[in-house]
Amino acid sequence: MTETVLTTPPAPQQNPVPFLDLQAQTDEILHELRDPWDQVLRTSGFVLGPEVDRFEREFAVYSGARHAVGVGNGTDALEIAFAAVGLGQGDEVIVPANTFFATAEAVLRCGATLVPADVDDDFLLDPQDVAERVTARTRAVVAVHLYGQMAPVARLREVVGPDVLLVEDAAQSQGASRDGFRSGGAGDVAATSFYPGKNLGAFGDGGAVLTSADDVAQRARRLRNHGGIGRYEHLDVGTNSRLDTLQAAVLSVKLTRLDAWNAQRSAAAARYGALLAEAFGDVPEVVAPRELPGAAHVWHLYVVRTPDRPAVSEALAAAGIGHGIHYPAPVHLLPATAHLGFGPGTAPRAEAHADRILSLPMFPGITPAQQERVVSTLRSAVTGRRERPAVVV
Ligand SMILES: *Cc1c(COP(=O)(O)O)cnc(C)c1O
């Protein structure tokens, strides 16, 4: 006879709101994938099939670059981009302190020197701070278009001058623009990611290097395929990092929807803006993100700043509201970079943001009701803590 164990069932979470829901996107395109996928399966062109070529041409046009080179993921795209422009030992590379670790990792993996710089109140590389970190050894500055909004590329170009390479980390910004430049088309070379959760996401890993320089594109194309120009003719020490043909077919179909999906994100961001202004008019410590003049933000993430983040996060979790922290520590304060000896104070604004940022649910198809629930839960999480009188026992 089995023992009866009495347990308290978990409290039912009424209408949880996921942080990210990709199902609607997938459902929308699935029927269009049958033919292109059948074609790949029938021809067995799984690696560097014609669909890769086709997507590369479409994505280059979309990004305002002459060339796109499909690779295995966004991290490889950064590494291959760096190698294609010849970054290495002895080169200083300026990177914003608040980015996904891959940006800094790629600098370190190519043997260059990591120079973290501070950001502004919109989380983007601060040209003034960059100017102060430029030395005779500076070879590149990496403009990370964080959360979907482009870094100030025109100003960055001005402050670093013509001899420093402008590299874009465009992993979070497909479709964004600023000052007349499109994401991926503004720098000497750019790297992007098609990780499923990005604005343009594959059904697995993927990435691309973008550039308008023919020689850089050619080198990137060689490097992703063992440095080869023909079969078994290896010109460089490269790697194996190619965009899968099946993923390229997915991306071609998704690219036709990207502007519409970004418009849905933008509408959701406007709705969050209005809801937050109403809910936190009396709480200036809760700060909503903004779209800068001259910029088209694509809202990869919707990141607010909040006081009491641990408690707020706990309250959101208890209410079934998905959320994230992008990122909990700046790149210079991670265990992986401890040996470089950067301390707190290296990038004060990025460090301050790291303790307050909170990413709310954001994806094409998020409903007004879901957003209202997110904001009202956030409101009670923030003010509930602030206004609850101290209990004296
Ligand atoms: C996702 C991301 C990357 C890395 O892309 P993967 O495809 O996951 O390797 C690099 N930089 C930024 C800013 C990212 O968001």
Query: Are 242 and 97 in the same domain?
Result: yes
CA angle, residues 222, 225, 231, in degrees to nearest 5: 90
Written as six digits, the tokens of 209 are 């290097």
Which CA distances in Å does 173 have to 154, 185, 260?
Answer: 17, 11, 14
CATH of the domain at 106: 3.40.640.10
Residue 21, pLDDT score: 97
pLDDT tens, residue by residue, 93-123:
999 999 999 999 999 999 999 999 999 999 9
Q: Taking Cα atoms as reference points, which of 327, 321, 374, 368 lies closest to residue 351?
A: 327
pLDDT over threshold 60, residue 204: yes
pLDDT tens, residue by residue, 249-299:
999 999 999 999 999 999 999 999 999 999 999 999 999 999 999 999 999
Please tell me if the CB atom of residue 170 comes closer than 6 angstroms to any atom of ligand 1. Answer: no
Query: Are 38 and 181 in the same domain?
Result: yes
Q: Which of 107-111, 245-249, 386-390 has the lowest mean pLDDT?
A: 386-390
Written as six digits, the tokens of 234 are 């290896």
pLDDT over threshold 90, residue 7: no
Written as six digits, the tokens of 43 are 């021809």
Query: Are 17 and 86 in the same domain?
Result: no
Residue 182, pLDDT score: 98
pLDDT tens, residue by residue, 62-97:
999 999 999 999 999 999 999 999 999 999 999 999
Query: Are 144 and 250 in the same domain?
Result: yes
Query: Are 240 and 327 in the same domain?
Result: no
The angle, 0 to 180 degrees and rounded to 10, between the axes of the packed helices 50-63 and 23-43 is: 140
Ligand 1 nearest atom to the CA of residue 144, by list position: 13
Query: Are 58 and 204 in the same domain?
Result: yes
Residue 2, pLDDT score: 46
Provide the number of structural domains found in the chain: 2
Q: What is the DSSP letter of 391?
A: P
CA 74 to centroid of ligand 1, rounded, Å: 5
Q: Is the peptide bond before 327 cis (omega within 30 degrees of 0)?
A: yes
pLDDT over threshold 70, residue 391: no
First to last CA, the chain: 48
Reported confidence tier of residue 5, pLDDT bands at 50, 70, 90: low
Residue 230, pLDDT score: 80
Q: Which of 218, 238, 255 is the last residue of a domain?
A: 255
Ligand 1 nearest atom to the CA of residue 102, by list position: 10
Average pLDDT over residues 336-357: 98
Instruction: Report the mean per-residue pLDDT for the chain.
Output: 94
Rounded to whole angstroms, how far apart are CA atoms 26 and 286? Answer: 34
Query: Are 220 and 274 in the same domain?
Result: no
The answer to whether 350 and 104 have CB atoms below 8 angstroms apart is no
Residue 386, pLDDT score: 55
Residue 4, pLDDT score: 52
Query: Dihedral through CA 186, CA 188, CA 191, CA 192, nearest 10?
Result: 20
Look at the block and give the residue holding tokens 């509930």: 384
Query: Are 157 and 9 in the same domain?
Result: no
Task: Enumerate the active-site residues.
Answer: 198
Average pLDDT over residues 346-350: 98
- Minimum CA distance residue for ligand 1 atom 6: 74
Residue 15, pLDDT score: 85
Look at the block and give the residue holding tokens 């709101």: 17
SS3 breakdown of the chain: % helix, strand, coil, rounded to 5?
40, 15, 40
Residues 6+ apart with CB under 8 A from 45: 51, 245
Query: Are 250 and 292 in the same domain?
Result: no
Reported confidence tier of residue 390, pLDDT bands at 50, 70, 90: low
Query: Are 241 and 326 in the same domain?
Result: no
Q: Which of 255, 282, 310 is the last residue of a domain?
A: 255
Rounded to whole angstroms, how far apart are CA atoms 195 and 3? Answer: 46
Reported confidence tier of residue 8, pLDDT bands at 50, 70, 90: low
Query: Are 158 and 271 in the same domain?
Result: no
Reported confidence tier of residue 172, pLDDT bands at 50, 70, 90: very high
Query: Are 221 and 196 in the same domain?
Result: yes
Q: Taking Cα atoms as reference points, which of 224, 246, 250 lies closest to residue 235?
A: 224
The burial of 228, by beta-carbon neighbours within 10 Å (0-12 exposed, 13-18 middle, 19 or more buried), is given as: middle
Ligand 1 nearest atom to the CA of residue 300, by list position: 15
CB neighbours of residue 139 within 10 Å: 20
Residue 167, pLDDT score: 98
- Minimum CA distance residue for ligand 1 atom 14: 171
Q: Which of 223, 255, 287 is the last residue of a domain?
A: 255
Average pLDDT over residues 342-369: 98
Element (H, E) at 205: none
Ligand 1 nearest atom to the CA of residue 172, by list position: 15
Please tell me if the CB atom of residue 103 comes closer than 6 angstroms to any atom of ligand 1. Answer: yes
Reported confidence tier of residue 389, pLDDT bands at 50, 70, 90: low
pLDDT over threshold 50, residue 1: no
Residue 232, pLDDT score: 85
The angle, 0 to 180 degrees and rounded to 10, between the axes of the packed helices 368-387 and 309-318 is: 130
Written as six digits, the tokens of 294 are 């001259």
**Helix, strand or coil, per DSSP, at residue 21:** coil
Average pLDDT over residues 303-312: 97
CA 92 to centroid of ligand 1, rounded, Å: 21
Domain with 297, as residue range(s), is 5-21+258-392
Q: State CA 29 to chain mean position distance.
A: 23
**Amino acid at residue number 163:** D
Pocket test for ligand 1, best of 20, 73, 75 (most atoms within 8 A of CB): 75
Q: Which of 36-50, 100-114, 206-220, 221-235 has the lowest mean pLDDT?
A: 221-235
CA 100 to centroid of ligand 1, rounded, Å: 7
CATH of the domain at 14: 3.90.1150.10
